Each structure stands twice: as C-alpha cells, then as structure tokens.
Chain A
C-alpha cells in the first residue's frame, strides 16, 4: 500500500493554501497601517484599557488617523471608553470589510461586541468550543478576523488593547510581525511590579520592542489644592527598571477625568506626556531598524 508521501496533494482540503490566503488577507490589511502598538499587562485591574483608550484619543486629537482594537474577547472595554453612544451597535459591512465604529475624535474602534449583538449585555460564549483545546483556535481565529476583516483604511496608529496576562500577546505578535512595540501597564504596588517584571522577559522573548512601562494609579491629585498625594505607592522601581533596560513612559495619577469616556475627558497632561514618550520610543525603534 502506498503511504502519505507517495500520493500527491494534501487530500483535497489544501489547508496550507487556505492558511496562506488568510495570512495574505491579513498582510494586505496591515499594509495600510503604519504602526501597531500593543498595550498589555500581565495583571488585571491596572487600568490597561483606560490607558489604551486615552492614548488612542490623545493621538487622534493630534490629527493622527487612529484605530483601536479590543482583543479582550470576554471583557471588551474599549467600546464603552471610546464610543459609549454606540453601546450595543453592530458593525455594518462596507466595500472591503466591516466598518469600525467611529469613536472619540474619530478613533476607529473594533471589538467583538460589535459582532455578537450582545453589546454590554453579556460576555461571549462560543458554541461547541467549551474546552480549552477547542476554544484556543477559535480565539486566535477571532483575533485574526477582527484584524483582517475590519475595514480600517489608512491608519497612522492602531492601538491593540490586550486582555490581562501576556498570553494573548503571543497571538498578537504572531499575527502582526511588524508590531511597533508593546507598552506595559502596571500600578505602583509591589504585587503588580513583581508580576510585571516577570513578563518583561516574556515580551523580549517574543522578539518585539518593549516601548516602556506606564505606571497607572500612582497617587492622586488632591481635588482641593491640586497637590499630588502618593497614596498606594508601595514601590519606586526606577532603579530596577533602569537596570533592566525598561524605559519609563510616564505615570498617571488617580484622576476623575480618566473615569470619563475618552471623548469627554479633554486633554490630560499626564496622558499627553505618555503619548509623547510613546511616539518618541516608536521613532527610536524605527530608526534602529532602518
């Protein structure tokens, strides 16, 4: 009896060809996006989505063409932070893909929420994919489709908000080899830093530029006198980060304005500084690559 390699072809499904076409579609979509920036954290609850949304709004306010993709499939936050008036909306089909929702300052937002019809009603459930073995491929495919099947158009920046843990970051970097870099978000607590420092090696192992670290919830601004108050600041990791070669991108204090949707908050000085630093770091990495 002949064996597998004795018979030409792959059995008729042309799996390699199908995967090749998927990746071609993705590459074509990414070719109109200048820089893709992932905002990540190994830890939940550090305000990663808030940071991602306000950064996206800040860049758009400067006149850049900005997209924002929520890859947190089970806990999308960007729709509420960037386009609260479209909560529960479904993305409609355009000439060349699904049209992202127009959010704060024209940020083009895409999230699984805009495809499921769930909106804010519930988290996503995958029919038939109940085990981790079957759920993994569906999640990765969903991420690929959100990237490749969205009609992003020409973008200067696409901000990718990732779910807690840097696990999904591996999927993002596999799908976007040209990723401009990763901005990590932490809070100034020992626990958060401990977990974040562990993830730095993981990010480096993925071979993508680590753009730097954003410290969120670092103290608060006194509502009466405007003076900074260092409540919650357990860790000052400047020296450690310097030794590890991780540039600080800036710190955000507790600020009532950050609780608002990004389109209503107006410019926030600390966010603007972080955006400046982020763009500078992207420029440095691009120059180094050139």
Chain B
C-alpha cells in the first residue's frame, strides 16, 4: 500500500510502528506539510500478513529461523499449572501412551478457566465439558 497526502499529493513516509499482540499501529507523515495519520490493522489482516512470513514496513535483517512457527504457535502452559497428588494418581489410570495427551487436555481446560492447581474435582469438571 502507498499513502498520498491529499493536500500536497506527496507520498507519505512511514514514521513509526507499534505492535501489540494481534494488531499493528503504523504512523505515516507527509514530508511536505507534516500532516500525519495512524493506520491500525485489524487482527485478521495482521494474522494473515504474519502468516505469510513477510514484515510490514520492510525487513533490514534476514528473517530469524522458523519465524512464523515461533510467532504463531500457541505456547505450552507446562510448568505454570500444578497437579495435586490425587489428580496425579487419577491420571495414572490412563494408559501410558495416552497420558501426555490427557494431561495436556486437562491443562488446557485449567488454563482457560484460570485454574492454577489441578485436582480430581477439576478433572471431573473438565470431563463433563469434553
């Protein structure tokens, strides 16, 4: 995209960029009259552009390794959620090959509810909703 100052017919220059978690704010200014505006991208467009692996405003350094993957993949909550003894014992009833996935599913449920410690009651609650 290119931006023209409607007063001066001058190409506006990128003056600054600010990124939040899912949107970007770009400031453009007219080199002639100094007029400026901010373009605020919506989350869907921002996600689409990020997904392509290109950087708005250009790139002066080579892209970091696995940039899109590292930026896009949802982070694991491992280590942030504790399991009490009763919950661990109950998880032991799940066959070993399925245990990591069951653990992850319960942790996701707990994270979505802001629960920090998983107990058998939390497991019941999760199971009821699954």
Using a CB–CB distance below 8 Å, which chain A residues touch chain B? 1-2, 4, 7, 9-15, 18-19, 21-22, 25, 88, 93, 97-98, 112, 115-122, 124-129, 131, 133-138, 141-142, 144-146, 149
Contacts of B3 in A (CB 8 A): 11
The count of residues in chain B whose C-beta lies closer than 8 Å to any C-beta of chain A is: 46
Interface 0/1 of B47-71, CB less than 8 Å to A: 1101111111111001101111110
Given the known interface contacts A7-B2, A134-B44, A138-B72, the answer about A13 and B57 at a Cβ–Cβ threshold of 8 Å is: yes
CB-based contact A126/B65 at 8 Å: no
Closest-by-CB residue of A relative to B14 is A12
CB-based contact A21/B76 at 8 Å: no
Partner among A122, A137, A149 whose Cβ is within 8 Å of the Cβ of B65: A149
Given the known interface contacts A1-B4, A1-B6, the answer about A134 and B47 at a Cβ–Cβ threshold of 8 Å is: yes
Contacts of A117 in B (CB 8 A): 76, 78
Residue among B6, B11, B78 with most chain A CB within 10 A: B11
B13-72 contacts to A (CB < 8 Å): 13-14, 21-22, 43-44, 46-48, 50-59, 62-63, 65-70, 72
Partner among B2, B14, B73, B104 whose Cβ is within 8 Å of the Cβ of A127: B73
Bound: A22/B66 CA distance, A: 11
Distance (Å) between the CB of A74 and the closest chain B CB? Answer: 12
Bound: A116/B78 CA distance, A: 12
Partner among B43, B69, B101 whose Cβ is within 8 Å of the Cβ of A120: B101
Partner among A18, A112, A133 whose Cβ is within 8 Å of the Cβ of B44: A133
CB-based contact B47/A142 at 8 Å: no
Contacts of B103 in A (CB 8 A): 121
